[in-house]
Amino acid sequence: MGYDDVITHLGEFGRYQKRIYLLLCLPAIVCAFHKLAGVFLLARPDYRCLLPHEDAATARFESLPREHWTRAYPNESVTGKPDTCRYYNVDYSGDYLAGNQTATLNGTLQCSSYVYDQSKYLNSAVTEWDMVCGRSLLSATSDSLFMVGVLLGSIIFGQMSDKLGRKPTFFASLVTQLIFGVIAGVAPEYFTYTISRLIVGATTSGVFLVAYVIAMEMVGASYRLFAGVAVQMFFSVGFMLTAGFAYFIHDWRWLQIALTLPGLLFMCYYWIIPESARWLLSKGRNEEAFVIIEKAAKANRVEIPSEIYEQLIEEAAEKKKKEQLASSEPSASVFDLLRFPNLRRKTLLIFFDWFVNSGVYYGLSWNTNNLGGNQLVNFVISGAVEIPAYTLLLFTLNRWGRRTILCSTMLVAGVSLLLTIIVPQSMNWLLITCAMIGKMAITSSYGTIYIFSAEQFPTVVRNVGLGASSMVARVGGILAPYLNLLGEIWRPLPLVVCGALSFTAGLLSLLLPETLDKPMPETIEDGENFGKRQATTRRPSKEEELKVMINGKATS
């Protein structure tokens, strides 16, 4: 008897669970706001040096015609385009710029002030603090530190939720997100803004991860695959809605605050969302868990036999004794995964897959401003293609196999992104199409790697392996903002790099063994033998396979 059997009596996805599940999916939308907001908060519009004859208060980007730029700005040695970070040291006049007058060139000077194109963005943190030219790394560093916060948050709030409970951790994350989200919007300088965004990044892990875990812990095994994928679709909805906010709000400070304030709506969850009954039982707080179970049973119009409660109490006591005995034994570590050759090879391949999936996913999501065309439309399409990407997984993962889906989607992403090399500059629509196909494919791949990894690692080190994989994935996300700076050299270059990484990872993933309908390894020995020769471990039930997938997803 276990809590999953209680779920069976309650109804695996009854009226009560559906209501709570839907409410817990909504915070994913706000977390998407914060994760994708950097595209607009740190937007880098076209810019040029403020020339000596121009007045800073009245100068406009368009006031200097493009045909006059060659008289003011030298050409870059790499791209051959005007270098708007420097200007010729001459006596400027209207006749000189128009080519009607010659002047003696005295070398070039670095810009001290800039004029920005406001046709697409009224302003951004980049334009306010002049994060261009020699300071362009500052904007990438800000986004990178946001992802550092995501990494720290997954560690800090993950441990808090296990020790203090899911519900208090959720609200601690939510309140912190609201406070520092507003602080980021009123930050007087770069340092305060960046630190505030780092903390907001940490809270996205707390809010999304904990809400996800509460939702999954009350859903029956046969519905968990659907529930796990559906919550990701809410994140995609938030992805697209971010562009809606940016369409109506053109000031970056008000945009940051507007994306933060919807989190206030979730404060009412304190009186609606229950603590996880599964967690309460694991901590010996049986009476509190039984009250929640009874409430769910009443809403679902079912009755829970009294003997089930008695069996749960006995099981909790036995589990506590086992945990006390296990605490005296040495705990598993990531080094156990690297000790043996076959297991080490598979582990390193999985780590590389996680690194590539995260780096390419965020690299493409944050690169929409560099694709040309309408930037808001590009952003919406980038979010919209995630819906069919996740839907694909519902129909194929248990039919075609994990490795087949992982490899094929990464190869499709790689090929479509690499094709941007040969796309003519005049066919910008084709460049965007290739980028969006790549985004859709890498999203499917990212969704597959969770379950595939959970089934590769032995039971005794599964959580350790998934935790280490998640940390490697965050490294990819941390590096993604710097990758997008390559677009300043050549617009398709970030896409080409992402394509090369995806294609390579897709080919290497063919070296991993298929896990569909295969017994999951339980010991280190099983893990070493899996994929090398026929494993001798038992075949798990479908319920156990789905439980592993959800536990793995929550860990990362």
Are 296 and 377 in a shared domain?
Answer: no
pLDDT for the residue numbered 266: 94
User: Which position has the token pair 């562009």?
Assistant: 243
Are 149 and 172 in contact by the 8 Å Cβ rule? The answer is no
Tokens matching residue 5: 């059997």
Are 382 and 481 in a shared domain?
Answer: yes
Last residue of a domain, one of 292, 317, 342: 317
Are 338 and 396 in a shared domain?
Answer: yes
Are 340 and 466 in a shared domain?
Answer: yes
pLDDT for the residue numbered 314: 75
Last residue of a domain, one of 117, 148, 178: 117
Are 386 and 513 in a shared domain?
Answer: yes
Geometric angle at alpha carbon 350, from 345 and 351, rounded to 5°: 100
Domain residues for the domain of 95 are 47-117
Are 287 and 381 in a shared domain?
Answer: no
- 323 in any annotated domain: no
Last residue of a domain, one of 65, 94, 117: 117
CA–CA separation, 467 vs 446, rounded Å? 15
Are 498 and 430 in a shared domain?
Answer: yes
pLDDT for the residue numbered 515: 83
Element (H, E) at 110: strand 108-110
506 CB neighbour count, 10 Å cutoff: 23
Tokens matching residue 434: 């290739």
Are 81 and 40 in a shared domain?
Answer: no
CA–CA separation, 36 vs 366, rounded Å? 7
- 324 in any annotated domain: no
Are 111 and 145 in a shared domain?
Answer: no
Are 303 and 226 in a shared domain?
Answer: yes
pLDDT for the residue numbered 148: 94
DSSP 8-state secondary structure symbol assigned to residue 73 = S
Are 382 and 413 in a shared domain?
Answer: yes
3-state helix, strand and coil shares in percent for the chain, rounded to the nearest 5:
70, 5, 25
CA–CA separation, 111 vs 170, rounded Å? 47
- 327 in any annotated domain: no
Are 167 and 182 in a shared domain?
Answer: yes
Name which of 353, 361, 356, 389 is nearest 466 in CA terms: 353
- 193 in any annotated domain: yes
pLDDT for the residue numbered 325: 60
Name which of 317, 315, 328, 350 is nearest 462 in CA terms: 350
Domain count across the chain: 3
User: Which position has the token pair 């076209």?
Assistant: 46
Are 378 and 367 in contact by the 8 Å Cβ rule? The answer is no
pLDDT for the residue numbered 128: 95
pLDDT digit string (tens) for the chain, length 556 residues: 467 778 888 888 889 989 999 999 999 999 999 999 999 999 999 999 999 888 888 889 988 888 889 888 998 866 678 888 999 998 888 888 888 777 777 888 999 899 999 988 889 999 999 999 989 899 999 999 999 999 999 888 888 888 888 899 999 999 999 999 999 999 999 999 999 999 999 999 889 888 888 887 788 877 877 887 888 899 999 999 999 999 999 999 999 999 999 999 999 999 999 988 888 887 888 888 888 889 988 988 888 887 777 777 777 677 666 666 655 556 667 787 888 888 899 999 999 999 999 999 999 999 888 888 888 999 999 999 999 999 998 888 888 888 999 999 999 999 999 999 998 888 889 999 999 999 999 999 998 887 788 788 887 777 678 788 888 999 999 999 998 888 777 878 999 999 999 999 999 999 999 888 787 777 788 888 887 754 444 445 555 544 444 444 444 4
- 402 in any annotated domain: yes
CA–CA separation, 380 vs 122, rounded Å? 20
- 158 in any annotated domain: yes
- 545 in any annotated domain: yes
- 326 in any annotated domain: no
CATH at 168: 1.20.1250.20
